[in-house]
Structure 1
């Protein structure tokens, strides 16, 4: 009954006797309503709230209502996104979020004749067709540490990364070697980056040449040409880095490892992949090709 529910919502603020008088209901009727067994509908709502809170905390407040809906449905609890959004609002569950990073296709994408081989075409038909790479920094107590990352555009999986206190050729070479060691590289693979001095170094270019990889670079000062990597770094910082108190290189390493290896590659659902994780998306592709 609505009146009883209203009284229940104000318990502790006023006496039951006074509220029953205001609502024009009997105290015995209110206490009988309060001691009744919850209905099937109420039980379902309570279970939904419990599961939602547990999953929200499990994913460290990284998921909003669309991904939480997928998680609940795959956990055997059918529920609509609209209902999930309402429950999250009611419980004050708000995902950590940052400004979306959008890009606009280059009008010269079909030419394929410049040093920018990618031309903002961030789609790939199979694994190891197009990789992208970039470097970002993480502030620590005594300066900065630098993170180099390589992503396969087919599944958005992070296949190579390296963290160090200096932004040297070695940083990106270590990330590259991790990527090559974990993937099957065939000649013709495109590896895109910006025009940073590390990516233009002779040592790094020699590594690409030895593997038959075609280097591709963004136009000068144009971050949109590497929007996929910019987007990943934005998500990493919002979903992991800004939620931690990072003081040392070791703490930064632990944060990166936890996010990439334990969450992003294995569990983070991408809307562009049909709300599947990079690993699940690649596994499905491998099964189709078997």
Structure 2
């Protein structure tokens, strides 16, 4: 009697009669004309337990695959750490790195990782130096000999002509490359001293001498420049500060640190205060404050120049202190996309907060504006008496 081959769909449906419809194995086997042994085998293969086993098996195989992938990625990461910068090197240096690490990793994986072909690596392994490298070594030795014979004074042009006289076929650019790689240079003469031309910057003496607490407004001002970072580039801020009340009486902002920046801030200060007496204006020795236009403006408006000693930031400590407050309380808490956004925020800090509102320890915890108003009331009271 020949063995009956049942279709797979037939077997699945037969199993469902037992697992889902509730018939016994013997009854289903009797009705279908098969044996209970075959039906039990079908249940084992196509039943619910087989599906859960298949799912578990698939899950475990996926875990194994992920572990292998993690191991591969970890090994490649460690290799790239060891070979940092090798990918930017010529192929022969990559071949050398592959040779040094071929004991721990497969050559094919290393070649794929460092973007070279295994066949090229094996060719290089038989003969590491190319014909060009060997020829460059020979020519470098000859170039060194000719350079030494010249008393170490010849450059690549004269060495090139010496090589041509020896019937060597070598271009002048190649000679320049070989000499540069070997560290061979021509003897050059002394540079002629350059005479200084142009106007000499004016340096003023330190008239202020750290007297940061005058008895009245418009006696001494200080000025300085700082910079604010934006995504559009640097924004430079120049301010003029009255030492009596620590009030910012003039400011200017721009994308370049030029003399016009400091002149604009000083013009605003003069326009606001209209001083009737001579005022000392203190700054550092930056080129903006030593220019002819700066000192000409000071002379025209009855202002006396005073400058910090070279490299001494403490002589202008009050201006530096204001910039520290500005950056700590406002700038470092913001990210400016454009210079226009930074200008708006800095204007808000100076004119809307610092001058009229912010309490200052040097002003008996009054704002600069309130402190000056208090001084004006004292003057009025003295005049009435």
TM-score by length of 2: 0.45
Q: Tell me the residue number matched to 1:183.
A: 273
1:141, distance to aligned residue in structure 2 (A): 0.9
Q: After TM superposition, list the pairs within 5 Å mapping 1:1-290 onto structure 2.
A: 115-290=205-380
The one-character-per-residue Cα deviations of 1:63-90 (angstroms, maximum 9, x if unpaired) are xxxxxxxxxxxxxxxxxxxxxxxxxxxx
Structure 1 CA distance for aligned equivalents of residues 227 and 338 of structure 2: 13
Larger helix proportion of the pair: 2
Structure 2 CA distance for aligned equivalents of residues 256 and 219 of structure 1: 29
Question: Are residues 282 and 119 of structure 1, via their aligned partners in 2, closer, same or farther at CA, if it must alter by over 3 Å?
Answer: same
Task: Give the conservation status (yes or no) of the 8 Å contact 2:254–2:261.
Answer: yes
Q: CA RMSD in A?
A: 1.0
Structure 2 CA distance for aligned equivalents of residues 244 and 258 of structure 1: 13
Task: Give the conservation status (yes or no) of the 8 Å contact 2:228–2:236.
Answer: yes
Task: Give the conservation status (yes or no) of the 8 Å contact 2:232–2:339.
Answer: no
Structure 2 CA distance for aligned equivalents of residues 245 and 270 of structure 1: 26
1:157, distance to aligned residue in structure 2 (A): 0.2
Count how many residue pairs are aligned between Structure 1 and Structure 2: 177
Task: Give the conservation status (yes or no) of the 8 Å contact 2:223–2:282.
Answer: yes
Task: Give the conservation status (yes or no) of the 8 Å contact 1:129–1:190.
Answer: yes
Task: Give the conservation status (yes or no) of the 8 Å contact 1:161–1:178.
Answer: yes
Structure 1 CA distance for aligned equivalents of residues 232 and 336 of structure 2: 11
Structure 2 CA distance for aligned equivalents of residues 121 and 131 of structure 1: 11
1:144, distance to aligned residue in structure 2 (A): 0.4
**What secondary structure sits across from 2:249 in the alignment?**
strand
The one-character-per-residue Cα deviations of 1:61-117 (angstroms, maximum 9, x if unpaired) are xxxxxxxxxxxxxxxxxxxxxxxxxxxxxxxxxxxxxxxxxxxxxxxxxxxxx8001
Q: Which has the higher contact order (CA 8 A, sep 6+)?
A: 1
Question: Are residues 187 and 202 of structure 1, via their aligned partners in 2, closer, same or farther at CA, if it must alter by over 3 Å?
Answer: farther
Structure 1 residue ranges without an equivalent (≥5): 1-113
Task: Give the conservation status (yes or no) of the 8 Å contact 2:233–2:339.
Answer: no
Rg bigger for which structure?
2
